[in-house]
Amino acid sequence: MKNKRGGFTPQENLISILPSVMAGLIVFSTIIVANLVYFLPQEPLYRVILIIYGVSGSLYLSFYYFIYTAALNKSRFSWVNAVIAAIALCSMAYFFSAKIDHLLYTLVLIAALSSSLISTRGPAYFLVVSVTSFYFLIRSNQRIMEYEWVIHLGLSIAALMGVETIQQLKNMATRQINRLETINELSRQIVSTLDTKQVFALLNATFQSALEADSYYIGILDGDFIKLELLYDDGEYFHDLRLSKKGTLSNWVITHQQELFLPDMRKGIQLDGVEVINIGKDKPTLSWMGIPMHGAHVDGIMAISSYRPNAFDRSDMELLSTIAQRAALALDNTYHHALVQQQARLDSLTKVYNHGYFIQTLHEQAQICKTQNQPLSLIMLDIDFFKQYNDTFGHPIGDEILVSLCVIIRSHIKSTDSIGRWGGEEFAIALPNTDGHQAALVAQRIRETLGSLKIRNSEQFTIPIPTISMGLAMFPLETNDTTKLIDLADKRLYTAKERGRDQIEPALAFWKK
């Protein structure tokens, strides 16, 4: 887990503070050796105090590395360390002469950089400002050359610049780490789902956490249109939008399969035949970035935009490109899974529901109609004398009749209705929210349209069209059980056949009563 205050984990901090700890130990060790080995021209007490400072500083830094790892509150420890270091360095300025100011500012720089590495800029700024202020206060009564004041001030400014540089580098590193974690988390979750809606939900959460954009969308190519599966604009989501792809930035990206980065759209767009089209809210987009998504089953685009110019950089482009690659792969998997599931539900020849799935769908639709207090009608349909028809004209013509019949049925029913191949030349049609009278009219239109169908064989001779017989039943008026509903419609189908075929049972007059 990340340290929310410092931005790094404890392990990362251990690695980052090691150079500064080693530098401090080297400086303190040099102080000790210089005062023990070399007889410098200074008072013995002065030399002893320096040795004490060197030993104390070395011991503190030796334990500092390990104390920090055990501290539960890293932020509080950083402030404690900054206060201790400030007191120690201020006392050096107080007890010692200006001859060792170079040593003082070396330690200030090391302490400030170390504090900045393990925390935010606050403790490091406190350390540098407090020591510098105390130093100028103490030295103001001493005879120090003007250029020395300038040097000391410059060293303080250099320490602050070092602190700020480290903070900027930490922010950049933290941002990159966060983005990598976002990509890893997205990859982990997105490969474990085969639901398309869940993929878009995960992508939406990723956009919200990883990118600072006023607007973003994911568009999937659908013929001459781009269907916006996800569109967020300035705090609001938009649903069920389809755009004509012609002349759009999105179409350019999809057609050329190239990334497109427009950092400042006030300068105009240098792309032939492309114009900016506002989607979502009517606000001018000033920064735009689009990445193509391409897979075996998906062609689309992922785009982000902002109302500010130069809102994005190349790192945003790299992140969006990585997300788009993961998204294309995940959507490919979900579309392929949905296609396999759909194929398992369909009859291989006619592409209508197979027997098993139609029964499941009929049951579900009946339950919905029952809850809504609405009728459901069932039509059982059979092609008359179809075996003889196949024997006479051949199975290819028979298959063409079956396929054409399903096309005709689809043309006369709603998208919410269902059609299934019951077996051989027999079909079932479920019509939710439709009463018996309306179902009889649908059956009559199917019968008439099939009768007007024209089919030719390989020699271009016209083939006669077979007739059909149909049986109708209504739920829940006649029965509130789907199994009995099927039996009733099937019995009426065979009644129609026994009465001479090419008819609907019951007739339209029955339902008018």
pLDDT per residue as tens digits for the range 280-333: 888 889 999 999 999 888 899 999 999 999 999 888 898 899 899 989 999 998
Q: Using CA of residue 115, residue 121, residue 124, residue 126, what is the dihedral sign?
A: negative
Contact call for residues 450 and 465 (beta carbons, < 8 A)? yes
Contact call for residues 381 and 493 (beta carbons, < 8 A)? yes
Least confident of 57-66, 335-344, 392-401: 57-66
- Provide the mean pLDDT of the chain: 84
Contact call for residues 383 and 423 (beta carbons, < 8 A)? no
What's phi and psi for 300, nearest 5 deg? -165, -165
Side by side, the strands of the sheet bearing 418-423 are 418-423, 426-432, 376-383, 468-475, 504-505
287 by Cβ neighbours in 10 Å (0-12 / 13-18 / 19+) ranks as buried
Position 420 pLDDT exceeds 60: yes
Position 11 pLDDT exceeds 80: no
Position 51 pLDDT exceeds 80: no
pLDDT of residue 133: 86
Domain boundaries, the chain: 10-177, 196-341, 355-512
Enter the tokens of residue 119: 């925390």
473: helix, strand or coil: strand
Class of domain 196-341: alpha beta
4 — pLDDT class (breaks 50, 70, 90): very low
Position 29 pLDDT exceeds 80: no
Integer CA distances (angstroms), 364 to 344, 350, 481, 482, in order: 18, 22, 12, 10
Cα maximum dimension of the chain: 131
- The mean pLDDT value for 359-372 works out to 95
C-alpha–C-alpha distance, residues 290 and 302, integer Å? 6
Contact call for residues 116 and 163 (beta carbons, < 8 A)? yes
Integer CA distances (angstroms), 346 to 45, 99, 357, 421, in order: 98, 92, 8, 9
pLDDT of residue 194: 83
Q: Which residue pairs from 190-193 have beta carbons closer than 8 angstroms and sit at least 24 positions apart in sequence?
A: 190/326, 190/327, 190/330, 191/329, 191/330, 191/333, 193/330, 193/334
Question: ∠ CA(235), CA(238), CA(243), 5° rounding?
Answer: 130
Which range of 52-56, 198-202, 351-355 scores highest in mean pLDDT? It is 351-355
CATH of 355-512, one of 3.90.800.10, 3.40.50.720, 3.90.45.10, 3.30.70.270: 3.30.70.270
97 — pLDDT class (breaks 50, 70, 90): low
21 — pLDDT class (breaks 50, 70, 90): low
Question: ∠ CA(307), CA(308), CA(311), 5° rounding?
Answer: 115
Q: What percent of the chain has pLDDT over 70?
A: 83
- The mean pLDDT value for 54-71 works out to 66
Q: Using CA of residue 489, residue 490, residue 493, residue 498, what is the dihedral sign?
A: negative
pLDDT of residue 68: 60
- The mean pLDDT value for 459-477 works out to 92
DSSP 477: T
109 — pLDDT class (breaks 50, 70, 90): confident
C-alpha–C-alpha distance, residues 409 and 394, integer Å? 23
- What pTM did the predictor assign? 0.60
pLDDT of residue 2: 43
Question: ∠ CA(211), CA(3), CA(190), 5° rounding?
Answer: 45
C-alpha–C-alpha distance, residues 369 and 225, integer Å? 34
pLDDT of residue 422: 94
- The mean pLDDT value for 195-217 works out to 89
424: helix, strand or coil: coil
pLDDT of residue 470: 97
Contact call for residues 418 and 344 (beta carbons, < 8 A)? no
Integer CA distances (angstroms), 372 to 376, 414, 485, in order: 11, 18, 18
Model pLDDT for residues 113-139, shown as the tens digit of each residue: 777 777 788 888 888 888 888 878 777
303: helix, strand or coil: strand
pLDDT of residue 486: 96
C-beta neighbour count of 104 within 10 angstroms? 19
Least confident of 140-154, 244-258, 279-293, 415-429: 140-154
pLDDT of residue 427: 97
Contact call for residues 360 and 486 (beta carbons, < 8 A)? no
pLDDT of residue 433: 96
